[in-house]
């Protein structure tokens, strides 16, 4: 390869078209992280140039000011030569640096527009020379543009550049695409800056044009026929840059496709195009961190494929390892990713009117994604009978919920579900649900056993839940018990909203209206009461308006208010069965009742339900 440090004149002045491959990511630079920083860096150079010019005593020193001004380095780009028919434009494929080159062209267009608006035609003319190719060498209007982005950005980019084309009828932008916002940002900054002090706008614009022509430097790496573009791409982008792991994976896959004599553009349009949409780049919760949705999905998919834990930070190296092991072609891998992405979307945004939807909603509340590789596999096998699929997810849900209610560790869940996945891959599709039940039933260690009804009963009667289990999970437990009391199955959606809150029946500040019984030493009774108040038997769910109105009230006042306003059967049962008094004993009784209901909702390992 050949590397040179060039200014924008060297890059854009010659008749060359820089094309972004169709499988590259869309334009993603933003104001706060990129445009603003670029403008601030540009201003430093322009301001220094203007200061040196102002200090010049004659024309010669003014011309020399450019040579004495410190240029600004914009980073590196990687270009790959493309074969061209005779008498056509020289074409370079942008292996790396498309965000930078597209932004520079938008900046040039914005500067051109500002020059026209401020009636400085000379600056506008100089800027045009960096923006358009010779008409005699082009066959279409878009060939005149120096840079050509992927399809998703082409319309917006064409609009932006048309504002600088003297022959275009486009006079204003009316869209809200990212490239439109980029243009507006730079045009506004240039206009305001050009008119901000006593010097005329043309002095500012002339200095800006000089800077854009000569004082912005880029390292341009031109690849030769024996250079490995992918290796260079990874070296430049795999060390903490904004590129996602999925971007590295995508580029690698389509480079492999080229080696296999496949058309990477066609493969991209058929299997990968959807991932270029913003929704796949939005961050989703992954444990304690947020990560891009596409990276999370590929992490789960790769774990499913490899049968071993793949960490988000090591996603791209793990993918390279997978490619070394697999016999699948690039197209088969892309087909597989595309197929499982639709399954991932279905389970990420479930329909709560189905049993599967209820399961995935509860999994989201539990804030655990470790079962996802197993679930991708289960829902991706089309031959699994529906009843077996439901049995599988019900067993997984019961195992997870019982362990959560018993306040057990989740530290080995990754390994447990990978082991389960390998068991399922060896089993018959028509026994998948049975196999999940058997696998979880046989676990006996502290980190993986399936709690029994007795385990659930003892914990829910004795352990404290308030501040130990988050409110969203507690709401989900009460919601599930409410479903059980209504006996509606899963054909009817009944989920609590965020307007409901967990309430202590015996208040946290109980001393205001709740006397101690006086049967034991006062300090002993106080300790017992403080422990009892945070047990699940003392918790219920109320509206955000009813909750504060009865928060510290005595039991008879609180009972009457709940009885008058509640429509939930879990609360009806509370005020009906413990109407006379509420104390440490009744808290234990209700804890036992809630445990019995939870055991019905989530059948245990010894249940005849399975």
Distances (CA, A) of 319 to 248, 249, 322: 10, 7, 5
Look at phi and psi of residue 568 and say left if phi exceeds 0, alpha if psi is from -120 to 50, else beta.
Answer: beta
Q: What pLDDT is recorded for position 115?
A: 92
d(CA 607, CA 173) in angstroms, rounded, equals 66
Q: Which residues pair with 72 in a beta bridge?
A: 216
Strands 16-19 and 90-96: parallel
Q: What pLDDT is recorded for position 183?
A: 94
Q: What pLDDT is recorded for position 492?
A: 45
Tell me if residue 92 falls in helix, strand or coil: strand
Provide the token pair at 240. 């903490």
Q: What pLDDT is recorded for position 169?
A: 65
Residues 6 or more apart whose Cβ sits within 8 Å of residue 307: 418, 421, 422, 425
**Nearest by Cα to 461 from 401, 570, 537, 533:** 537
Burial code (b: 16+ CB inside 10 Å, e: under 16) for 417-427 equals bbbbbeebeee
d(CA 293, CA 215) in angstroms, rounded, equals 39
Strands 16-19 and 289-292: unpaired
Q: Are 204 and 50 in contact (CB under 8 A)?
A: yes
* E strands in 343-439: none
**Nearest by Cα to 253 from 339, 335, 152:** 335
Alpha helices in 521-583 (DSSP H): 522-532, 546-550, 555-565, 569-577
Write the DSSP string, 301-348. HHHHHHTS---GGGHHHHHHHHHHH----HHHHHHHHHHHHHHHHHHH
d(CA 334, CA 338) in angstroms, rounded, equals 6
Provide the token pair at 512. 């205001």
Q: What pLDDT is recorded for position 241?
A: 43
d(CA 493, CA 571) in angstroms, rounded, equals 19
Q: Based on the number of CB atoms within 10 Å of its own CB, is 18 exposed (0-12), middle (13-18) or buried (19 or more)?
A: buried
* E strands in 229-360: 283-286, 289-292
d(CA 412, CA 415) in angstroms, rounded, equals 6
Q: What pLDDT is recorded for position 547?
A: 64
d(CA 194, CA 386) in angstroms, rounded, equals 68
CA atoms within 13 A on the CB side of 80: 18
Computed on alpha carbons and rounded to an integer, the radius of gyration of the chain in Å comes to 33
- Work out whether the CA dihedral 452, 456, 462, 468 comes out positive or negative: positive
Q: What is the DSSP letter of 218?
A: E
Q: Which residues pair with 217 in a beta bridge?
A: 7, 73
Both ends of the chain: CA-CA distance in Å? Answer: 64
Q: What pLDDT is recorded for position 401?
A: 96
| Average pLDDT along the chain, 610 residues, taken 10 residues at a time | 87 92 87 91 90 82 83 88 67 90 96 90 91 86 90 91 72 79 94 83 92 92 68 56 77 85 89 89 78 93 92 85 91 96 88 86 90 96 94 97 94 92 91 95 92 95 89 91 74 54 85 78 86 92 72 81 87 89 91 96 93
Q: Which residues pair with 501 in a beta bridge?
A: 542
The secondary structure of the chain in percent helix, strand, coil, rounded to multiples of 5, reads: 60, 10, 30
Q: Is the pTM of this model over 0.75?
A: no
């Amino acid at each position: 390869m050949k590397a040179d440090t060039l200014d924008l004149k060297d890059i854009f002045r010659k008749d060359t078209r820089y094309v972004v491959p169709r499988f590259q990511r869309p334009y993603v630079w933003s104001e706060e992280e990129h445009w603003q920083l670029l403008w601030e860096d540009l201003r430093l150079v322009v301001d220094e140039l203007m200061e040196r010019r102002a200090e010049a005593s004659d024309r010669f020193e003014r011309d020399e000011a450019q040579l004495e001004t410190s240029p600004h380095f914009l980073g590196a780009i990687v270009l790959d030569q493309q074969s061209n028919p005779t008498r056509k434009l020289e074409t370079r494929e942008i292996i790396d640096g498309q965000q930078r080159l597209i932004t520079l062209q938008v900046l040039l267009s914005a500067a051109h527009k500002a020059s026209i608006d401020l009636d400085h035609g000379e600056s506008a003319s100089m800027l045009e020379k960096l923006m358009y190719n010779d008409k005699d060498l082009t066959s279409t209007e878009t060939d005149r543009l120096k840079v050509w982005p992927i399809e998703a950005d082409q319309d917006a980019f064409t609009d932006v550049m048309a504002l600088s084309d003297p022959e275009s009828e486009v006079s204003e932008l009316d869209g809200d695409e990212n490239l439109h916002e980029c243009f507006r940002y730079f045009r506004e900054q240039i206009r305001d800056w050009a008119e901000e002090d006593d010097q005329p706008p043309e002095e500012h614009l002339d200095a800006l044009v000089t800077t854009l022509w000569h004082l912005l430097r880029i390292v341009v790496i031109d690849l030769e026929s024996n250079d490995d573009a992918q290796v260079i791409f990874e070296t430049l982008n795999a060390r903490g840059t904004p590129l996602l792991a999925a971007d590295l994976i995508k580029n690698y896959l389509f480079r492999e496709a080229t080696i296999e004599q496949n058309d990477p553009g066609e493969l991209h349009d058929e299997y990968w195009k959807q991932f270029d949409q913003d929704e796949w780049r939005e961050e989703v919760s992954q444990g304690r961190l947020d990560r891009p949705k596409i990276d999370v999905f590929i992490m789960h998919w790769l774990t499913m494929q490899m049968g071993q834990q793949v960490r988000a930070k090591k996603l791209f190296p793990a993918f390279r390892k997978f490619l070394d092991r697999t016999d699948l072609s690039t197209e088969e891998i892309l087909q597989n990713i595309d197929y499982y992405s639709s399954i991932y979307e279905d389970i990420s945004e479930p329909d709560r009117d189905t049993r599967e939807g209820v399961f995935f909603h509860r999994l989201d509340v539990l804030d655990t994604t470790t079962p996802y590789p197993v679930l991708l596999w289960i829902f991706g096998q089309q031959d699994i009978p529906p009843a077996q699929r439901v049995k599988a997810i019900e067993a997984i849900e019961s195992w997870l919920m019982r362990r959560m209610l018993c306040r057990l560790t989740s530290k080995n869940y990754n390994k447990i579900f990978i082991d389960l996945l390998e068991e399922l891959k060896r089993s018959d599709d028509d026994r998948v649900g049975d196999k999940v039940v058997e696998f979880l039933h046989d676990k006996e260690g502290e980190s993986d056993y399936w709690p029994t009804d007795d385990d659930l009963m003892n914990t829910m009667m004795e352990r404290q839940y308030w501040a130990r289990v988050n409110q969203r999970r507690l709401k989900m437990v009460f919601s599930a018990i409410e479903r059980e009391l209504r006996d509606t199955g899963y054909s009817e959606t009944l989920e609590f909203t965020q307007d409901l809150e967990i309430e202590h029946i015996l208040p946290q500040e109980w001393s205001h209206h709740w006397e101690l019984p006086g049967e034991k030493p006062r300090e002993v009774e106080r300790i017992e009461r403080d422990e009892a108040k945070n047990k699940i038997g003392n918790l219920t769910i109320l509206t955000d308006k009813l909750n504060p109105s009865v928060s510290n009230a005595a039991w008879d006042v609180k009972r009457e208010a709940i009885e008058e306003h509640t429509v939930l059967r879990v609360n009806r049962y509370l005020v009906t069965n413990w109407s006379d008094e509420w104390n440490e004993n009744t808290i234990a009784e209700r804890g036992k009742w809630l445990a019995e209901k939870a055991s019905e909702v989530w059948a245990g390992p010894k249940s005849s339900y399975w």
